[in-house]
Amino acid sequence: MATRIPKTPSTPPAQKPAGDDGDSVVLERRPQKTAPPQMYQVVMLNDDYTPMEFVIVILQEYFSKDRETATQIMLKIHLDGRGVCGVYSRDMAATKVNQVMEAAQQAGHPLQCVSEPVA
């Protein structure tokens, strides 16, 4: 049997918050600016086997180019060895590359297409 009353734990004395003496600094919350996403350019590479007309059709179908613009890009690819088809976000560029590569493979052409970051 317990004859003594248990002691209550002592609590530290409550402290009052210090009064404002006028030297306080208030920080303002500034909205953070997010950088725009990295853009990627879809580049078609030249080869000696893919017909020029097929390249023009690909540019029109997958990159929504008109006939004249598609012809200009095709000539750039033919003369310079590579040509930019469009600039997209990373996922869209990867999708475009896959579409072009799949269409070229189905048609039996060795056309190559890559995406690379825009510098």
pLDDT in tens, the chain (119 residues): 557 777 777 766 666 666 666 677 778 888 888 989 999 999 999 999 999 999 999 999 999 999 999 999 999 999 999 999 999 999 999 999 999 999 999 999 999 999 999 98
So what's the pLDDT on residue 2?
59
Q: Which two tokens stand for residue 21?
A: 């003496």
Q: Which two tokens stand for residue 64?
A: 């929504």
Q: What count of residues does the chain have?
A: 119
Q: What is the DSSP letter of 21?
A: -
So what's the pLDDT on residue 25?
79
Q: Which two tokens stand for residue 61?
A: 């179908």
Closest CA to 74 of 51, 49, 56, 100: 56
Pairing between strand 82-89 and 112-117? unpaired
Give me the domains of the chain, ranges plus CATH numbers. 48-115 (3.30.1390.10)
